[in-house]
Each structure stands twice: as structure tokens, then as C-alpha cells.
Amino acid sequence: MTARTTASLWSAVVTIGSVVIVLIALNNASGVINLGKDDYQVEFIDTPMLGAALLLVPLLGVAAHRSVPIAALGLVGLVVPLVAGAWVAVRRYEDSQWGDGLEGLGYLIPIGIGALGLVAVVVGGLIGRREKRLTH
């Protein structure tokens, strides 16, 4: 298996994993629950489920070890579904009129995971470059 093929497989796993995580997070959200009297719980995306996307970040480093450009595409595949999920959650808050203006902070999760993914790509690329120099 070539280096590009290996990197492509890892990037595909990251992209598919990110899409699945976002779909589960959106599906598992409880919505608006009346807790009694005037007390409500509002959840339009299962935020702890989004944390599972952190498990995909090291795979970007593995992909970058083989091919940095392909790992960068994997990074896009990781972040775009997370941003789309945040966008859907923000729209749900606004459409239901339960938003208080802070729902826009939901975009911090994709930004943070994207930043960690970028670090993983850079570190994986540096390790891959060093290994190539040592073996050639």
C-alpha cells in the first residue's frame, strides 16, 4: 500500500467518523424538556457527543505522517461536518426562540477541534519528513 493510499484511508475514516458523530449528536439532542413549573432544559445538539470527535484528531497525524496534503483534506473533512452541526443547532435555537445570543458559542467546538487537528497534521508531517530523511 502506498503512502498516499494509507493517508487517504485515514482521512476518509476521519471524515466519515466526523459525519457520523455529528448526525448522532443532532439526533440524540433532547430538545425542550419541561422540568416542572417554569423550569426547562433546552438541548438542540448533544455537546458531549461532539467530544468524541477528539478521538479522530490523532488519526490526522497518522495520515500526515504519510502525506500532509491528504491529511489537510482530512482536516477539512473533520471540521466541515462539525461546523454544519453547530449551524443546525444555532438555527434550532433561533427557530424555537429559546436562544439567548450565546448559542453562537457552539462554533467554538469545531474551531477548537480544528486547531488541534492542525497541530496533529503539522506534527505528523514533521515526523514523517524526519523519518524520510533518516531512511534515505
**Per residue in 60-117, pLDDT tens?**
999 999 999 999 999 999 999 999 999 999 998 888 887 777 788 889 999 999 999 9
* 42 strand-pairing partners: 32
| CB 112 within 8 Å of CB 52 | no
- Residues 6 or more apart whose Cβ sits within 8 Å of residue 134: none
pTM of the model: 0.89
Helical spans, DSSP H, in the chain: 3-28, 47-50, 57-66, 68-96, 108-135
Residue 136 pLDDT > 70, yes or no? no
- Residues 6 or more apart whose Cβ sits within 8 Å of residue 119: none
Q: Could you state, in order of their start, the residue ranges of all structural domains in the chain?
A: 3-135
Question: For the chain, what is the largest distance between any 2 Cα atoms, rounded to a whole number of angstroms?
Answer: 72
Q: What is the mean pLDDT of the chain?
A: 90
Residue 133 pLDDT > 80, yes or no? no
Stronger pLDDT, 104 or 14, i.e. the higher one: 14
